[in-house]
Amino acid sequence: MNASAALVKGINDLPKVMLVSDDGARAEIYLHGGHLTSWVHADGAERLFLSSTSLFGPETAIRGGVPVIFPQFAGRGPLSKHGFARTAAWELLETQLDPPTVSFRLVDSAATRQVWPHAFKAVLTVTILARQLELSLEISNPGPDAFSFTAALHTYLRTPHIGSTMIEGLSGLPYLDSTAGDRPARQPEADLSFKGEVDRIYLDAPSALAVRTPDRRLAVESAGFPDVVVWNPWREKGAALSDLEPEGYRHMVCLEAAVIGRPVALQPGESWRGVQRLLA
């Protein structure tokens, strides 16, 4: 199979890029939100969760895949939840085939400056490497004034069943429990399992973690993102999400590379870059 990159129409005619590697792995990225919605491994298995009831509209965030969170994580600031990047129209910047790579760009506009008065440039790059997926987010400050931001790659991973899913690498680490108003806590168990709602921010987390299910293990690495968010809404909160399919919580876990605890501050002319890799 030959590597390829093509701009095509996706759901509701929204444009997306289909990226294919020579080993058969493929990825799909929408210009709406710069949103990666699918990564099919060379073995033919989809590794990302995408809700079948997700709304694909110009003003709506896509439920699943990898939403780009910028310039604000969750409700931790004056902007709408998770900022504006995940619902903005990104520009296709560049594609290449060795390795298969596609880049998208988002820059400030009159609409963004109404809610966040800063000049910025964001570049998202998606690369399919040998049996792995790499996402890079770079934020630059081309303007005359300094700004600070928080960000995340809000990665929804597909799992056969959340009850048999484990997160490796967080043993003994402190976290903020978002289900209890950011109450500080510490993980006692060696591997994190799921028996109810989990919404945790691990500050200064390890750069190498893994998601383990009975039939496979997925390594998750990061660089530049000091924090990690783990989220599953469980039954009650999942049912309250109109764009999450019934019982969808059973087949997803979010393991998010993030920068939250210490916002990134950029002086004029400076830039920052964070990377997340999924290795199967």
User: Which residues have a catalytic role annotated?
Assistant: 154, 256
**Ordered strands of the 271-279 beta sheet:** 91-97, 100-107, 121-129, 132-140, 271-279, 216-223, 208-213, 166-168
Read off the amino acid at residue 134: E
CA-based nearest residue to 27, from 105, 126, 130, 158: 126
Answer whether the bond into residue 214 is a cis peptide, omega within 30°.
Answer: no
**Residue 236 CB-density burial (10 A; 0-12 exposed, 13-18 middle, 19+ buried):** exposed
Strand partners, 6: 18
Q: How many helices (H) and strands (E) does the chain have?
A: 2, 20
Residue 44's CB is within 10 A of a number of other CB atoms, namely 9
Alpha-carbon distances of 69 from 7, 88, 176, 254, 277, rounded to whole Å: 23, 11, 19, 13, 17
Q: Where does 154-226 show beta strands of DSSP type E?
A: 156-158, 166-168, 174-177, 183-186, 198-202, 208-213, 216-223
